[in-house]
Amino acid sequence: MAEAFKFDWDVPSESIAEVRRRTLYPFKSSGQETDAEMRENSTTVFGAVSQAGEPVGCIAVLDEPNHDCALRVRWLGVDDAVRGRGLGARLVQATQVYAATRQLGLWADVRVKAIPVYERLEFEPFGDFFELPNIGRHRVMRWWPAGLQP
């Protein structure tokens, strides 16, 4: 039987807190301290993908202007067991739909492993690679809805 994955947009931060932690920050412990940054910016919108009612992936988009783009994409994570099926790409696509609705550009600090996912969705690299402690090499990627690229 084909596996069913359900995508939800604008979900509460609590619902994706644990999948965010285990996919992106497995070296951190569960709890308030790890989750606090999810509530720092009240414009943050969270997306989730679930399997059998349990979140297996997440993403967020928030108003944080930088690099000539108004919106930042953060916290793309998909559980190991369900990677390589296009779930990550569909989560990023949901942020593109959101950005297109608002007619605003997107930027993200993207881990090396995820760069191809963003590139396939027509994000463009910007600037040099850089290191973030505990996490590794990143690059800024940017994308604009049609006609808005400066």
Chain residues binding ligand COA by CB under 6 A are 23-24, 76-78, 83-89, 110-111, 113-114, 116-117
Q: How far is the CB of 77 from ligand COA (least distance, A)?
A: 4
Contacts of 1 (CB under 8 A, 6+ apart): none
Contact 58, 82 (CB under 8 A): no
Residue number with CB closer to ligand COA (70 or 115): 115
Please, what is the minimum distance in Å from the beta carbon of residue 150 to ligand COA?
Answer: 23
Spatial distance between the Cα atoms of 68 and 65, rounded to a whole number of angstroms: 7
- The residue among 11 and 89 lying less far from ligand COA, judged by its C-beta, is 89
Comparing CB distances to ligand COA, the nearer of 84 and 147 is 84
> Residue 84, SS3?
coil
Measured from the CB of residue 43, what is the shortest distance to ligand COA in angstroms?
20
67 vs 83, beta carbon nearer ligand COA = 83
* Measured distance between the N- and C-terminal CA atoms of the chain, rounded to whole angstroms: 46
| Closest residue to bound ligand COA by CB | 88
Q: How far is the CB of 137 from ligand COA (least distance, A)?
A: 11
28, 135 Cβ separation under 8 angstroms? no
CA distance linking residue 15 with residue 38, whole number of Å: 11
